[in-house]
Chains A and B, each alone.
Chain A
């Protein structure tokens, strides 16, 4: 099947999905929206990375599952870290009454932060084995562009006076 026919089917599939995807918007808790935003950023990253690095089918087959897994792992860790930070703040507010519990609570937050950073490091190490030298160089530039793009998007969403 030619590349262009495939692409045409892709667009058609997208249009069909868009039609079926109309579900009435419901109120969702703030945490759920934050998690959706995180997943959507991850999706955008996969898409743009595929294009920027010109990934082959084999490469995406190898890379996508790993990136998806790591992203899920990090999302879990973020949830745990948010809970641990809440607990730590509560302990600090209680002051001397809960002083004994502070070191363990602080250690828990630190450990979770390290685990999250370790996931990013795991991805970098994995990509080093999957990408060509040119792709690795492009990945460095893509990463900077992507992160800065998120910052620009946030500024746009804030509006001119915020």
Chain B
């Protein structure tokens, strides 16, 4: 992860882009679009949204180039813009949609038999992944962002904290809360698959 975060051979392109050369900026876009898209898709779980937000991220980066102080690599800087863009989108989406609140104290079974369908043994593994995606998508935005960055993207708590603009401790607590919620929701499917560790 550190290696990916510390791509420093972008300096000549960044210099050109800062001096008003959009083709240099487009070259930087080509270098990092997949990684930025992957992270944003992890947040949104929607391909179309991820494409739009990836574009929004690079546009924001281009406009902010004069303020890029180069205290980090260009990739890390754009990645952070992407995280913020995704987080704003998630917060807006959760305000607009009706979502069932995760209640830590209520296990899925307590809501009644209809809350979760019984897992099918024959495709338990595939279903777990589908249910995992749903469950991650249903997390509160701040928990989701921390979980995607750390568990899905492989960032350390320190790196995720820098991206999210919070402390490592905060990331640590958000990971704990996110996992607790996911485990509560996915318990029926986890039992079907069995533990691999």
Contacts and interface: CB of A to CB of B under 8 A. Distances in A.
- Tell whether any CB of A sits under 8 Å from a CB of B in the complex: yes
Interface residues of A, number: 11
B66 A115 contact: yes
Contacts of A114: 66
B67 A111 contact: yes
Contacts of A64: none
11 contacts: A111-B69, A115-B67, A118-B18, A118-B19, A118-B20, A118-B65, A121-B20, A122-B20, A124-B20, A125-B19, A126-B20
A118 B66 contact: yes
B21 interface: yes
**Closest 9 A/B residue pairs (Cβ):** A125-B20, A121-B19, A118-B66, A122-B20, A115-B66, A121-B20, A111-B67, A118-B18, A114-B66
Contacts of A121: 18-20
A107 interface: yes
Interface of B: 18-21, 65-67, 69
A35 to B, nearest CB: 22
Nearest to A124: B20
Contacts of A118: 18-20, 65-66
Interface in A92-110: 107, 110
Contacts of B19: 118, 121, 124-125
A31 B18 CA distance: 30
A108 B66 CA distance: 12
Contacts of A124: 19-20
A141 to B, nearest CB: 21
A53 to B, nearest CB: 20
B20 A107 contact: no
Nearest to B68: A114
Interface string A49-74: 00000000000000000000000000
Nearest to A110: B69
Name, among A110, A118, A126, the residue most crowded by chain B CB atoms within 10 Å (CB to CB). A118
Interface string A19-56: 00000000000000000000000000000000000000
B11 to A, nearest CB: 15
A118 B19 CA distance: 6
